Amino acid sequence: MMIKRSLAAAAAVFAGMSLHTVAAQQPMSLALLPKPRVVQPSAAGSYTVGSGLTVALTGARSPRLQAAVLRTLKRLEDTTGVLMPRAIGDAASGSITVRVASDGQPVQGIDEDENYQLVVTPTGATLTAPTTVGAIHGLETLLQLLQATPQGYVLPLVSIDDSPRFRWRGLMIDCGRHFEPMDVLKRNLDAMAAVKLNVFHWHLTEDQGFRVESKLYPKLTQLGSDGLFYTQDDARELVRYARERGIRVVPEFEMPGHSAAWLVAYPELNSGTQPAGIRREFGVSDIALDPTREVTYQFITRFLTEMSGIFPDAYLHIGGDETPAPDWKKNPRIIAFMQAHNLKDNESLQAYFNTRVLAILTKLHRRMVGWDEIFNPALPKDVVVQSWRGEASLAKGAQQGYQGVLSAPYYLDGMKPAGVHYLADPVPADTKLSPDQQKLILGGEVCMWAEHLDARTIDSRIWPRTAAIAERFWSAQDVRDVDDMYRRLQPVSLELESLGLRHLSSEDAGLRSLAESTEIDTLRTFARAFEPVSFGERYQQQHTSQLTPLTGFVDAVVPDPPVKHEVAVLMDTVLATPTAFDAHDAYARLRAFFSRTAATVPAMQATIRERPRLQPMEARTTQLAPLCQLALQGLDLLQAGKKATPGWSANADTLLIEAKQPSGIVRFTFIEPLTKLVQAVR
């Protein structure tokens, strides 16, 4: 690249052209995410998005397609500041021409054709797709192509031919442990559409709450939801909203475990132990539905029949995970049933239960999805296993002929960086699965469990990390450049904010609330040094329940803030060529980060004394200044080509060990690069 660029420059000088002209004639760099299958930058040049832009739909023109096009125009207008048309005319062609063969399936299916082609010429753009869903994806790509130039907003000349790698690209949101209002879910559907995710898995029931209205069994929400639930109209509206954006809605009703909220309302379904009320504690519960009584199946039949009138998707999730059900081993009636039916253990009894539920679903023309635990040879091959326990169990299912969806590496509550999730592949390059077995892997699903989030913080836990995973599900297996992904993640993150997501603004809102002030520059700089610990670590440190307030410093800060990757990359740069002139800028930026961060400490110590909700951060604040000093001294040594004294290294080790101990329910964002630096100068 370097060589080509300087050759071009030399040629330009030779030809008497300015460098600026040459640069303008290079194809523009694109920031598309997920990366399309084929992108051919045509010649240099662009189409300028200006007033007078027109749109034509020349094929199918369903209301859904028209609405998607009008939403796109509004977003184009918002970004460019140029007034866009408010209606779609009947013209045979426009500056943007959308040619769709058919609206597609009346209920979007797993085999919906999602392909599209997008060609930009100097006079406009043409989007061609077999279905509306394909066109919806293409419109998102069109928006991502938009670039600001001194001459205005342009679409670079390009020819794109795109289709997804996996058919099932999901996001699960747990609305059981904490309820999420409709507007929160809608904006998350907008965000999903922006990165071409196509399955919203709606986790609607938990020990901690039953969140969807049943008219047949109204006590489910009357007694099991604290009044926080979706009416049937809400649920239908969400299904409609999702369909408008090319997204299926797969509802999940957890059974036979994770079911305390069912039993609060209908004790006749219990296996012997009746919960005292909605469960506030987290973790696996002993409560389970009774799989041996016909009333249970009558109840489930009527309930699922009612729900299938609301949720048209061909797939329905029955949960099925984590059901230790000690009652099944203790209750004499259940023991007798198991003996009579030759069921040797709890697992066999759960397989019996699943077989009965499967028969109910089959009558309703629904296919069963369940977590890993439903995987049992007693079940036919048309159930889908969602793997939360790892790639190995997904592969095992596929080897035995079961379809699967991978979730284990996409648990957002692990608070891992986007780059780690990004590299986990449902079908990695070194897979041992045969080509036919690989076809059984339908795709993957991001899981957002809600023990530690609420409507204020959910967006920042999901986004932008989920956009990185969306690329894994959509784009080719060999698209794996983490730095390039992070480069493209930033514009996506901003676009999501334009769509109404609060993943960026919620951090400041949380900090303002903690500081009880609108002046949060210092607190914000300080906060950039921290991110929340994983679900498991928080649970250990805080013993949270559903009633725990989620308004601490840990709730305000966000996982994998952009500065974390920036500092890591800068550190790798200086470590690669410590004394090179090229590394100058990286040194300067690292020094700026650590000096700026250290400088917040005195003011933060004063603030913490006055703000009790910040007091858990006291020990971390004390650790921060010496760690920043360590970094600054280490950078000086590295740049000077010197080694540290043994005393300095020993002190560094002590500080790093202390920094890795639990405190404040947060961890430092820069410990890994700092550890590398300490090693390098040792």
The full DSSP string for 622-651 is HHHHHHHHHHHHHHHHHHHT----HHHHHH
State which residue, 317 or 528, has the beta carbon closest to ligand ACM.
317
State which residue, 75 or 416, has the beta carbon closest to ligand ACM.
416
The full DSSP string for 28-65 is PPP--SSPPSEEEEEEEEEEE--TT--EEE-S---HHH
Rg, Å, the chain Cα set: 27
485: its two tokens: 């992904």
Q: Can you say whether the dihedral through the CA atoms of 481, 533, 198, 391 is positive or negative?
A: positive
Cβ count within 10 A of residue 501: 24
Cβ count within 10 A of residue 238: 22
Nearest partner of 451 among 201, 178, 236, 637, judged by Cα: 178
State which residue, 390 or 500, has the beta carbon closest to ligand ACM.
390
CB of 374 to ligand ACM, least distance (A): 11
Could you give the C-alpha distances from 220 to 197, 262, 303, in angstroms and in order?
31, 6, 11
Catalytic residue among 237, 306, 322, 672: 322
Residue 431 per-residue DSSP state: -
CB of 510 to ligand ACM, least distance (A): 26
Report strand pairing: 168-174 vs 124-131.
Answer: unpaired
> Which residues are near ligand ACM by CB under 6 A?
321-322, 371, 388
CB of 547 to ligand ACM, least distance (A): 21
Q: How far apart are the first and last CA of the chain?
A: 35
Q: Can you say whether the dihedral through the CA atoms of 329, 334, 337, 341 is positive or negative?
A: negative
Residue 438 per-residue DSSP state: H
State which residue, 229 or 371, has the beta carbon closest to ligand ACM.
371
> Amino acid identity of 317?
H
State which residue, 153 or 168, has the beta carbon closest to ligand ACM.
168
State which residue, 94 or 426, has the beta carbon closest to ligand ACM.
426
Cβ pair 634, 678 in contact under 8 A: yes
Could you give the C-alpha distances from 196 to 62, 223, 477, in angstroms and in order?
20, 38, 16
Is 391 tagged catalytic? Answer: no
Report strand pairing: 38-48 vs 152-162.
Answer: antiparallel
State which residue, 103 or 322, has the beta carbon closest to ligand ACM.
322
Crossing angle of helices 63-80/132-145, nearest 10°? 10
Please list the residues that pair with 568 across neighbouring strands: none
Report strand pairing: 248-252 vs 199-203.
Answer: parallel
State which residue, 244 or 413, has the beta carbon closest to ligand ACM.
413
> Amino acid identity of 566?
E
Any idea which residues carry the catalytic annotation?
Answer: 322
